[in-house]
Amino acid sequence: MSEWIKAYARALGFDLVGTAPAQSPPHAESFLHWLAQGYAGAMEYLQRTAHLRVNPAELLPDARSAVVVGLNYAPAELPDTDYRIARYALGDDYHQIIREKLETLLGAIQAVAPDVRGRACVDSAPVLERDLAWLAGLGWYGKNTCLINTHRGSYFFLGVLLLTLELEYDAPAEGGCGTCRLCLDACPTGALTEPYVLDARKCISYLTIELRDTIPERYRAPMGEWLFGCDICQEVCPFNRPRAHQPLRARPTHEPRFQPRALPRLYDILTMDEAEFTERFRGSAIKRTKWRGLIRNALIVAGNKGDPALRPLIERYCQHEDPILRETAHWALARLTAQAEDNGCLTGNNDA
């Protein structure tokens, strides 16, 4: 039954699949300690559902097993934009895609074992997917806190299907980063405070997506051109990059719905109202940041780019009724002005 389930999951398009017991995850105490340190920031839902995350059986009574799957999302090429978006958000929203596949898998299992109950969990469900994925042999923890598969890198989504069915379980994954610390050194905001520890409050992904308030000023310039999410700690990872005489480990996705959508330019985003935002990003993970969050992020990117053509749009938001957008716009305008003055001084020195 275990091998049949894995074969069916692969036929549905999952790149990785393994099985693990539906037990309290081995790193449950580490997760609770991480929460106690305040590293989750404003993600209070993690604290609220912590008791469920450390006990899968509370999500599905009598749960015995977890079928854990991985689905590659890496595009063959990045789109040509004047800002940056994390790879996972370039295509259609993954939640529905993975959930559909897991529900199909559950239906197939119940067709041959009608008494089996199951529950599909995709990111938003309160489970510790990475721990279960490690137990199921899909990958090991990297120093950037991402789950890394030795042969496929880390550009893949995780999904979990809890079952009231006893299965044969895979061995936990083996591997490690060795002495490498490229991800820690590359993080522009210092969010990786030490190997395997992420302070989400400093992470560009958290700041641009999860944080609903104003972004602390000390992190704005380091954000650079990241409009939504961040891939820096994965981009520098050797397990996502080609090695001499060897193919790229993070191969392009074969899921057509993960191919990059057509994206608006930064100018178009800054002129977008809420209705246009809703329509433009329908079915995209980008909608999670909501209109105000995306405009806030776009203003910071505009300030960092130093493009004088964006000045009129920034100035427009300096009068906006929303205090967060208004304050961010003033910061962006000041940064734009400062960069223009620096460039002018530099030109003058060269001329002299």
Q: Is 35:54 a contact under the CB 8 Å cutoff?
A: no
Section 291-296 average pLDDT: 98
Active-site residue, selected from the candidate residues 82, 123, 170, 307: 123
Give the model's pLDDT for residue 348. 44
Q: Residue 343: pLDDT above 80?
A: no
| Mean pLDDT value across residues 58-65 | 93
Residues 152-175 pLDDT 10s: 999 999 999 999 999 999 999 999
Q: Name the band, by pLDDT with cuts 50, 70 and 90, for residue 347.
A: very low
Examine the pLDDT at 28 and tell me if it is beyond 60: yes
Kindly state the percentage of the chain with pLDDT values over 70: 95
For the chain, domain boundaries: 2-74+92-163, 264-341
- State residue 351's pLDDT score: 40
Q: Using CB atoms within 10 Å of the CB of residue 182, give its burial: 0 to 12 exposed, 13 to 18 middle, 19+ buried.
A: middle
Q: What is the pLDDT of residues 232-274, one digit of tens each?
A: 999 999 999 866 545 556 688 999 999 999 999 999 999 999 9
What distance in Å separates the CA atoms of residue 122 and residue 98, rounded to the nearest whole number?
7
Rounded mean pLDDT of 109-131? 93
150 with 175: CB under 8 angstroms?
Answer: yes
The mean pLDDT value for 105-134 works out to 94
pLDDT 10s digits, 171-192: 999 999 999 999 999 999 999 9
What CA–CA distance (Å, rounded) separates 228 from 207? Answer: 9
Average pLDDT over every residue of 295-319? 96
Q: Is 123 a catalytic residue?
A: yes
Residue 200 per-residue DSSP state: G
Question: Per DSSP, which regions of the chain are E strands?
Answer: 16-21, 65-72, 84-85, 118-121, 140-141, 147-148, 156-163, 192-194, 197-198, 226-228
User: CA 303 → CA 63, 75, 281, 286, 335, distances in Å?
Assistant: 51, 28, 23, 21, 6
pLDDT band at 342 (very low <50, low <70, confident <90, very high): confident
What is the pLDDT confidence band of residue 350, given thresholds at 50, 70 and 90? very low
Three-state DSSP state, 219: helix
What's the average model confidence in pLDDT over 64-86? 96
The pLDDT value given to residue 344 = 65
pLDDT of residue 247: 53
pLDDT at 8 exceeding the cut of 60 = yes
Q: How far is CA 195 from CA 43, 84, 132, 278, in A?
A: 22, 26, 20, 38
The 3-state DSSP class for residue 197 equals strand
Instruction: Give the model's pLDDT for residue 157.
Output: 97
User: 264-341 belongs to which CATH class?
Assistant: mainly alpha
pTM exceeds cut of 0.75: yes
- Whether residue 346 is predicted with pLDDT greater than 60 in this model: the reply is no
Nearest-angstrom CA–CA distance, 121 and 67:
10
28: its two tokens: 């449950």
pLDDT attached to residue 125:
84
Percentages helix, strand, coil for the chain, rounded to the nearest 5? 45, 10, 40
Find out whether 204 and 189 touch, Cβ atoms under 8 Å: yes
Q: What is the mean pLDDT of the chain?
A: 93
Q: What does residue 188 show for φ and ψ, rounded to 5 degrees?
A: -70, -15
- pLDDT score recorded for residue 260: 95
